[in-house]
Amino acid sequence: MTLPRMLLNLAPSCASFCALSCAFACASLVACGEQSSKQPAATPAAAAPAATTSSTVAAAGQSNGPSTANRIVAGPIVAEPGIVDFGLVAPRALVEAEITLTNTSDRPVKILVSKPTCQCTTVDMAGKVIPPKGSIQMPMSMQTSAAVGIKAAAVSLLFEGVQAPLRVDLKAEVAYSVVGRPVPYIDALEASRLSGTFDLESPNGQPFRVLAVQGAPPVFVGFDPAVDAPRPRYTLRYDFRPLPQNAVPKYLLVETDREDCPLVDLRVRHESTRIAPAFKFAEYRSMLGRVMPGDSAAFTLEVEEMGPARFDAVYALSPDATVSLVDQKSDGKNLLVTVSVTPRPGFTGLLQLPVTFAMGPRTSEHLVYGLVK
């Protein structure tokens, strides 16, 4: 039985390292971040059921429990469910689930290693024993980031006397109370798709206003803001044709009148919008949300496969804001970095800030967005 609860913070064991490292390598392909921009375009999807969280669930504002799928088997061990889909979840929310591990054999089986693919996920099952013909519960939790989009993580388990590791996947669509479609991106790769439409919707049905798209007045389809009342869903136009090829935005930024969702971003797929950081950032961008003029805001970013290394500095070349390192925490493999952003005095409006992370001679930019208003 699936119950809301917690998961994923595990210490790896040296036992059966080769088998486990293979599982982790596969898991890292979808771990804790936005889906690759090289994936084929997706058809706009219907909103998924809301997940149980420790804060308000984005969009729906209610909890129907996580969606689950099937069973995963490794030798005599069965994980049910093997996939947990939390559906729409608010940014910076803690989503929790509990799955059942069943031992179908006639002997007790000890869990040697339970390891998540990122620091966003917590689980602690190493050393626990599953009795013969019995079951135990595995609580898990996943912390979502401030960036909207598909959030995926996984937990790999290694059992004593069982050669194959077992992997449990977790997935959520991190979204504010207004959701942009299509997901995972607006496909503008071909010249014929440099203009088109996209949708914005409030899954809980609450009307809202669209104030700007990329800092300019929005162009609606079938809606006149001077005459029509606010709606819970809009179709809008985008047009990148007037822009130089190297100026197509990596994300289309939409401003709304919702206090809990001042900005919505939609990934844009184009030859000039590829993101290939020198470090393994878990997110392609970070969102600050609304920042009051004169205030500072912070974002937290996980950087994978850093080992004990730390960044020497962060900086922004833009005159619109300054940045500073606040904290760096390592679990021995991945690094969790917190950065403070302070818009310059007098700055208001859409903040689009490339932040550079530096470690020795290596540097890499990370996109940060916010609305100073």
Q: Assign residue 370 the CATH number of its domain.
A: 2.60.40.10
Distance of alpha carbon 289 from alpha carbon 58, whole angstroms: 14
Burial of residue 116 (CB within 10 Å: 0-12, 13-18, 19+) is buried
DSSP class of 192: G
Whether residue 154 sits in one domain with residue 23: yes
Model pLDDT for residues 113-159, shown as the tens digit of each residue: 999 988 889 999 999 999 999 999 999 999 887 776 788 899 999 99
Q: Which two tokens stand for residue 17?
A: 């390292």
Whether residue 54 sits in one domain with residue 106: yes
Model pLDDT for residues 223-245, shown as the tens digit of each residue: 999 999 999 999 999 999 999 99
Q: How many domains does the chain have?
A: 3
Whether residue 266 sits in one domain with residue 291: no
Question: Which residues form the domain of 153?
Answer: 17-174
Q: Which two tokens stand for residue 119?
A: 């620091």
Whether residue 105 sits in one domain with residue 212: no
- Cβ–Cβ < 8 Å for 151, 33: yes
77-80 vs 94-103, strand pairing mode? antiparallel
316: pLDDT strictly greater than 80? yes
Per the listing, tokens 């496969």 go with 305
273: pLDDT strictly greater than 80? yes
Q: Is residue 6 part of a domain?
A: no
- Cβ–Cβ < 8 Å for 85, 48: yes
Whether residue 164 sits in one domain with residue 22: yes
Task: Give residue 176's pLDDT.
Answer: 79
58: pLDDT strictly greater than 50? no
Distance of alpha carbon 75 from alpha carbon 320, whole angstroms: 57
Whether residue 30 sits in one domain with residue 157: yes
Q: Is residue 7 part of a domain?
A: no
53: pLDDT strictly greater than 80? no
Task: Give residue 318's pLDDT.
Answer: 96
Question: Strand pairing partners for 255?
Answer: 212, 263
Q: What are phi and psi of 273, to 5 degrees?
A: -110, 15
pTM for the complete prediction?
Answer: 0.68
Whether residue 165 sits in one domain with residue 79: yes
| Residue 71 CB neighbour total at 10 angstroms | 14
Q: What are phi and psi of 190, to 5 degrees?
A: -90, 155
